[in-house]
Amino acid sequence: LRRKISLCSFSLFISVVTALEKMIISKLGDNTKLSCIYSQGGKLHLDNLRVYWQVDDPQEKCSVVYALISGQDNESEQCIHFKNRTQLLWDRLENGDFSLILLNVSQSDARRYKCIVLQNTEYTKRVHHEEVVLSLAASYSQPILSGPIRNTNSSEEEVTFRCRSSNGYPKPNVYWINKTDNRHLNSSELKITLQTDGTYSVFSTLKIKATSNMQIECSIKNEILQENLSAN
Ligand SMILES: *[C@@H]1O[C@H](CO)[C@@H](O)[C@H](O)[C@H]1NC(C)=O
Ligand SMILES: *[C@@H]1O[C@H](CO)[C@@H](O)[C@H](O)[C@H]1NC(C)=O
Ligand SMILES: *[C@@H]1O[C@H](CO)[C@@H](O)[C@H](O)[C@H]1NC(C)=O
Ligand SMILES: *[C@@H]1O[C@H](CO)[C@@H](O)[C@H](O)[C@H]1NC(C)=O
Ligand SMILES: *[C@@H]1O[C@H](CO)[C@@H](O)[C@H](O)[C@H]1NC(C)=O
Ligand SMILES: *[C@@H]1O[C@H](CO)[C@@H](O)[C@H](O)[C@H]1NC(C)=O
Ligand SMILES: *[C@@H]1O[C@H](CO)[C@@H](O)[C@H](O)[C@H]1NC(C)=O
């Protein structure tokens, strides 16, 4: 209850800090660092501090990612989802570095987190607050372009190009480009499939009228990684 009260009285402080939230991009399966630094210049006394790493989502039933109470971790409050998956940098705690290492990240870890540092003196006071947004990403494989394949079935001289790529996250944007005039072309088919490892594979087909000189490019874009992979 005491914690709730201090949350309210510091709401002005929160709105200022929110603007400074950090974005972290991690690849699936990696260990990632959620940074939280309460810098006071000197060494901190951990015995009167409580540090909470929480999922920043009021809908979430279990929100405690990690709890450090008087310099010791309190596993009884930790949500099952994060059990055995968190580490602090123990040698840096006294310097106010409460960054959390989250092991083997998966899609379900892609959320907003907050780090709250509370000080118990006569009363409990929030002395630090930070937010971190974790995004998950994985690079797509170099796309493979095949074609042109003549469509014997069609009345017009139509050809098909196919493009595939896999093991990426999140879903990609797929572009077909006419390299002669650099215009985008519409695909006739786009299939994005979720694979068992949580990444996506993508398959796209382009059908166009056959011309003598066809220079076609397929481009797979991962918006989060700002990666654009092309094949032609
Ligand atoms: C952990 O937290 C629970 C609930 O707040 C508390 O009852 C328990 O004493 C704490 N354990 C330690 C080691 O601080
Ligand atoms: C965490 O690790 C301990 C010890 O290795 C193990 O007993 C426990 O089952 C693990 N918990 C989870 C949720 O993986
Ligand atoms: C990592 O997490 C995935 C589930 O997200 C699990 O299948 C895999 O066994 C974990 N790997 C390790 C090394 O714990
Ligand atoms: C070929 O033409 C037939 C009859 O018009 C049609 O049913 C079929 O779907 C066509 N096949 C392809 C690959 O376009
Ligand atoms: C590609 O661009 C060239 C030059 O504008 C044009 O002649 C050709 O028809 C275009 N191809 C397709 C498939 O749009
Ligand atoms: C491609 O699709 C968009 C939206 O569906 C449409 O506005 C545009 O005219 C199409 N372009 C071509 C070359 O078919
Ligand atoms: C990625 O490629 C597409 C198609 O060429 C292009 O429209 C887009 O601007 C490119 N984006 C970046 C970040 O290079």
Residue with tokens 């979430």: 60
Task: State the angle between helix axes of 11-18 and 2-9 in degrees (0 to 180), rounded to the nearest 10.
Answer: 60
* CA–CA distance, 55 with 111 (Å, rounded to integer): 7
7-137 against 144-231: fold identical: yes
* CA–CA distance, 202 with 140 (Å, rounded to integer): 9
| Nearby residues of 220 by Cβ (< 8 Å), 6 or more positions away | 140, 143, 163, 165, 168, 172, 173, 174, 202, 228, 229, 230
Tens-place pLDDT, residues 179-221? 999 999 999 999 999 998 888 999 999 999 988 888 999 999 9
Ligand 1: distance of its center to the CA of 5 in Å? 20
Among 160, 161, 180, say which to mutate for ligand 5: greatest number of ligand atoms within 8 Å of CB: 180
Domain residue extents for the chain = 7-137, 144-231
Fold of 7-137: Immunoglobulin-like (2.60.40)
Tens-place pLDDT, residues 119-160? 988 888 999 999 999 999 999 999 999 989 988 776 778 899
Question: Is this structure's pTM higher than 0.75?
Answer: no
CATH of 144-231, one of 2.60.40.10, 3.20.20.70, 3.40.50.150, 3.40.430.10: 2.60.40.10
Write out the two tokens for 34: 């959620």
In short, whether 141's Cβ falls inside 6 Å of ligand 7 is no
* CA–CA distance, 176 with 122 (Å, rounded to integer): 65
Among 46, 66, 69, say which to mutate for ligand 1: greatest number of ligand atoms within 8 Å of CB: 69
CB distance 202 to 218 below 8 Å:
no
